[in-house]
Amino acid sequence: MDWTEILIDAATASIGPVAAAYALAAIGLNLQFGYSGLLNFGQAGFMLVGGYGAAITVEHGGSFWLGILVGIAASVVLGLILGGPTLRLRADYLAIVTISAAEILRLIVRSGWAEPLTNGVFGIQGFANPFFDLNPLATAGRYGWGDFTFQGRQLWVMIVGWSLVGLATLLLWKLIASPWGRAIRAIREDEDAARALGKNVFGYKLQSLILGGALGGAAGMLLAVEQQNIVSDSFLPQLTFFLYVIVILGGAGTILGPIFGAIVFRFLFQFFDGFMAQSQAEGWYGDLLDATDAQQIKLVLVGAGLMALMVFRPQGAFGNREELLIDDN
């Protein structure tokens, strides 16, 4: 068992490009769920339309930069379509509609008849060249200390990704500290009270859904750019639930929570991945577990680890315990 390798791999994953993309999508979800109380169970769908919007545009002759605009626009439109009819209704309608829409979108992009546009199950590759052309680092070079290193192209995605995370965090911080932020928190507490005071609850909820969804769209693009490859199965429903784990782990309704949550989640995920792979290869489990089983046990261990963290700190890393204990009305 090479513990150093396991730990270094986990540390690498915790700040890698995927962690940045997860953090960005989680910031959007935190705005929706943590601050506005919206149950968006389809953040994976927002990421999908963002990523596919960009990839399809490039694949069909548009520039990469136009692709980015299309990706963002697609996630905004998705927010309008999903939020428009549901946000006037009870909270659970949004949950049902978002989770189904995300799955429907995924099944559509991988279906045969969408193939001319999406290339079906094989997905779209190599659309982000203009992004990597801007990379000031040596593409194949390795940067870091000792065994803890990143490839030049990976580091370039990380720099851009974490900068986006930083910008989104600043934006959220400014918004949440503003009267607009107070309004969405108030609506989370009680919609009718807000209406009775003359506030347009529907408008606020729609804005929050769209803004959070656009951050999800940006995150989906970041994932696709990093891989130079977009396939429908990167946007399974479990992706949304990973993001919920990240938000809750860091503390729902806190500014830094999603960043912290994404780092810890990616660390745990990679740690148990390495641990199970190595222990299985060394024959710890005899014939009991094959390599595929070991990967599945990994998810169980990640879940157990997360539960332990939540028992230890139910309000999440940055959450406020006093706030958690408030029993409304």
Partner 1 sequence: MTTNTIAAEPGVAKPDPILVVDGLQRTFGGLHAVDVDHLEIQRNTITSLIGPNGAGKTTLFNLLTGFDEVDAGTFSLNGESLVGVPSYRVARRGMVRTFQLTKSLGRLTVLENMMFGAPDNPGESLSGAMFRRWRSAEADIEARSRELLERFGMDHMSSEYAGSLSGGQRKLLEMARSLMVEPDIVMLDEPMAGVNPVLTQSLLEHIKALRDDGRTVVFVEHDMDVVQEISDWVIVLAEGQVIAEGRPEQIASNPIVIDAYLGTQSNG
**Could you give the residue ranges of the DSSP H alpha helices within 111-236?**
115-118, 129-133, 152-176, 179-189, 191-196, 201-227
User: What are the CA-CA distances from residue 25 to residues 72, 149, 261 (Å)?
Assistant: 13, 25, 12
Residue 107: CB atoms within 10 Å: 11
Count of CB atoms within 10 A of residue 73's CB? 15
Binding mask 212-251 for partner 1 (x = CB under 8 A): ----------------------------------------
Closest to partner 1 by CB, 88 vs 142, is 88
CB of 213 to partner 1, least distance (A): 14
Q: In b/e form, how buried is each residue of 180-192, taking b as 16+ CB within 10 angstroms?
A: ebebbebbbeebe
| DSSP bridge pairs for 124 | 230
Stretch that binds partner 1, among 12-20, 72-80, 193-201, 272-280 (CB under 8 A): 193-201
190 binds partner 1 (CB under 8 A): yes
Q: Which residue from 84, 182, 241, 303 is in contact with partner 1, where contact means CB under 8 A?
A: 182
Tell me how far, at minimum, the Cβ of 272 lies from partner 1, in Å.
34
Q: Give yes or no for residue 179 binding partner 1 (CB under 8 A).
A: yes
Least separation in angstroms between residue 229's CB and partner 1 is 35
10 token code pair:
């986990």
Which part of the chain contacts partner 1 (CB under 8 A), choosing from 74-82, 102-110, 154-162, 188-196?
188-196
Contact with partner 1 (CB under 8 A): which of 109, 183, 209, 230?
183
Cβ-in-10-Å burial (0-12, 13-18, 19+) of 145 comes to exposed
Q: Which of residues 115-174 bind partner 1 (CB under 8 A)?
A: 174
Rounded to whole angstroms, the Cα distance separating 278 from 291 reads 10
Which residue among 30, 207, 240, 315 contacts partner 1 (CB under 8 A)?
Answer: 207
Residue 194 sits in the site that holds partner 1 (CB under 8 A): yes
**Cβ contact 124:229 at 8 Å:** yes
Q: Cα separation of 133 and 118, whole Å?
A: 24
Per-residue binding string, partner 1, 32-71, x by CB under 8 A, is ----------------------------------------
Max distance between CA atoms of the chain, in angstroms, equals 67
The residue within the footprint of partner 1, chosen from 151, 180, 227, 305 (CB under 8 A), is 180
Assigned token pair, 106? 């995924």
Interface residues with partner 1 (CB under 8 A)? 174-175, 178-183, 185-186, 188-190, 192-201, 207, 211, 322-323, 326-329
